[in-house]
Chain A
Amino acid sequence: MSNKTMQRTVLGMLVAIVILIGSNALAGNQKKSLQIEGSTTVGPIADAFAEVFLKTHPKLSLTVKKTGSGDGAAALIDSRCDIATMSRFMKGKEFKKAVEKGVMPVAHAIAMDGVCVVVHPSNPINALTTEQIRKIYKGETTNWKQLGGANKPIVVISRDTSSGTYETFHKLAMKKKKMAKSVEYVNSNPQAHARVKTTDGAIAYVGLGFLDDAVKGLTVDGVKPGRDTIASGKYPLSRPLYFFTNGYPKLGSLTHAFCTFYLTEKGQEIIEAKGFVPVTNY
């Protein structure tokens, strides 16, 4: 390439870059936008709501981040998001911090969920008690044969600490005791599901919406996780799923529409389609 052509190409590229960036920078921010951050359990519901909303309001910009309930709470406290999806209620510490920063969190319970303990389908064990689960996660039981199963070491998998699913499990199953250090941490429900699907000796816990044929959900304390047992609260590891907003959203605003969508029939159908338990018997 001759010098001249090279210079011209470079100049052309620079001009193109400047135009691109200039037009972008001048376009400015979108007015109608919604930032949603938080749980990987509630995330699929938010995704699905977002999909429906985008169909009816095509000019909308909805951003959904799914990294963990703790992330959602942190984002709401820092006013970085409009709705925080969380699979647990806000902790006292988080509330205090929020109020310090002038944010008043309001909870909307949009669905019921159960934390299901899952194992690989080849595992002969079908039921465990909360006590046995606690022992496994504390590292006191290390082989499946100690529980009447096959002779395989138990691969214990937990959600990471920013997860609401983790918090619920920690509170209800572990009774707030610490987990063993040998526990593997994964960052999301789908990852936990994938690990159990591919590892014979694995045990993990996922939200109800992630229970399918590839893994086996265990009966806990004699109660099988299912729509009825979770809705009635019989299943020991049931919990509500929440949307948190800063103050009650203004009537007619986008946030309000999004946060009350779960009360409509369409919203509840979506929640059911995603595998969770809608709050009413519509």
Chain B
Amino acid sequence: MTKNPDKKSEPQVAAVGFNRPLLLSPAQDLQGYLAAVLGKMFLLGITCVSLMVVVLIFVFISKEAWPFFATHGIGKLLGSTSWYPTAEPAEFGGVSLLAGSLYVTAGALLIAVPIGLLAALFLSDIVSFRIRQFVKPIIELLAAIPSVAYGFFAVLIMAPWMQEKLHLPTGTNALNASIILAIMAIPTIISIAEDALSAAGRNLREGSYALGATRAETLVKVVVPAAHSGIIAAIILGMMRAVGETMVVWMASGNAARIPAPWWNITQSIRTMTATIAGEMGETAKGSDHYHCLFAVGFLLLVFTFALNLASEHFLSRARRLRGGSK
């Protein structure tokens, strides 16, 4: 079909409805090029918002935390367990807070990792597809419940139960917080571990079964080691969830800034870093020592979770690499 080269082609309205001429003049060409490049830069700018936000977070939190480090030094924060920020003279020993966070996180992981891994194995290998489709949303619902609701449950239902049935002197303690944090972390662990386990590949499993292993042996000795990077990443992400949780520990851990004595008694009250920031922030006047100290604690929290994040990313990328490839 010949076309008249001088006339502008009739608008062939395709499904996408554009009507650009087939031959561009130099001006139009330049216009188009500029539009494309500027558009791309604009989009890149929007994408960089997330980068900007992370930088801003670090900048602003360090900015407010710096006066504390400048005047008192980090040694004061990490040096003692006496947290009396409103006494005169004020004492900012944050070791008890760190210990508190550690206690609830360790407790939560001790409960969450076995249960989460077993559940992930169950869902990925042992049950049929239909049951899995049914159970996965239920577990995701657990993840969706707001933390305030968990805290509500912990302080109004679980704490009295602990006091009555377990005869503990106080129901708001490290154990209470650990259990609730475990329930909150398990869905994260399950979903990421399950992804890692499914990606381990059928050939591994089939090879193991062919050699006569039982299902339990296959899973424990072949599949889990093969997926270990992903599983470690899952555990680290669960840990991040537990460390960063505020409302539950604020309501349920008792907020006593001390290291339990004896050290293995998790039925005593402790206080975490997150609960300290949430509870004491309102009382500080902007610019006071206490204010900067709380930002310093927040800074520590930020650095710690950032490190955990890098670690989890490392393991996830290893898992991806070992899996062989697609992004």
Contacts and interface: CB of A to CB of B under 8 A. Distances in A.
Interface of A: 67-68, 70-71, 73-74, 77-78, 94, 97, 152-153, 155, 160-162, 178, 181-187, 195, 198-202
Contacts of A67: 282-283
Interface string B238-257: 00000000000000001111
Contacts of A201: 169
B152 to A, nearest CB: 13
A71 B285 CA distance: 8
A187 B286 CA distance: 20
Contacts of B85: 161
Contacts, number: 84
A13 B1 CA distance: 48
B84 A178 contact: yes
Interface in B85-107: 85-87, 96
B268 interface: yes
B282 A182 contact: no
Contacts of B9: none
Chief secondary structure at chain B's binding surface: loop
A185 B283 contact: no
B205 to A, nearest CB: 39
A160 B280 contact: yes
Nearest to B268: A182
Given A153-B169, A161-B85, A199 B282 contact: no
Contact of B269 (A153, A161, A184): A184
Interface string B280-299: 10111111100000000000
Nearest to A161: B86
Nearest to B253: A184
Contacts of A195: 170, 172
A181 B81 contact: yes
15 contacts: A67-B282, A68-B282, A68-B283, A71-B283, A77-B285, A97-B288, A155-B170, A181-B96, A182-B258, A182-B261, A182-B268, A182-B269, A185-B279, A199-B169, A199-B170
A107 B96 CA distance: 37
Nearest to A69: B283
Interface in B165-202: 169-172
Contacts of B271: 185
Given A155-B169, A178-B87, A162 B255 contact: no
A55 B270 CA distance: 44
Given A181-B81, A182-B258, A74 B282 contact: yes
Given A74-B285, A181-B81, A182-B256, A160 B269 contact: no
B160 interface: yes
A184 B254 contact: yes
Contacts of B257: 181, 185
A201 B163 CA distance: 11
A160 B169 contact: no
Given A181-B81, A181-B96, A162 B170 contact: no
B218 interface: no
Most chain A CB atoms below 10 A, which of B84, B86, B286? B86
Given A178-B84, A198-B160, A199-B163, A160 B284 contact: no
Given A155-B170, A185-B256, A185-B271, A70 B283 contact: yes
Given A73-B285, A94-B285, A97-B285, A181 B163 contact: no
A185 B284 CA distance: 17
Contact of A184 (B163, B256, B287): B256
B164 to A, nearest CB: 9
Nearest to B170: A155
Contacts of B317: none
Interface string B258-274: 10010000001101000
A42 to B, nearest CB: 15
B82 interface: yes
B75 to A, nearest CB: 20
Nearest to B255: A185
A184 B86 contact: no
Contacts of A74: 282-286
A230 B268 CA distance: 36
A162 B172 contact: no
Contact of A186 (B82, B255, B283, B286): B255
B316 to A, nearest CB: 32
Nearest to A177: B87
Nearest to B287: A97
B264 to A, nearest CB: 16
Contacts of B159: 198
A78 B258 contact: no
A184 B172 contact: yes
A162 B280 contact: yes
A33 B269 CA distance: 41
B154 to A, nearest CB: 14
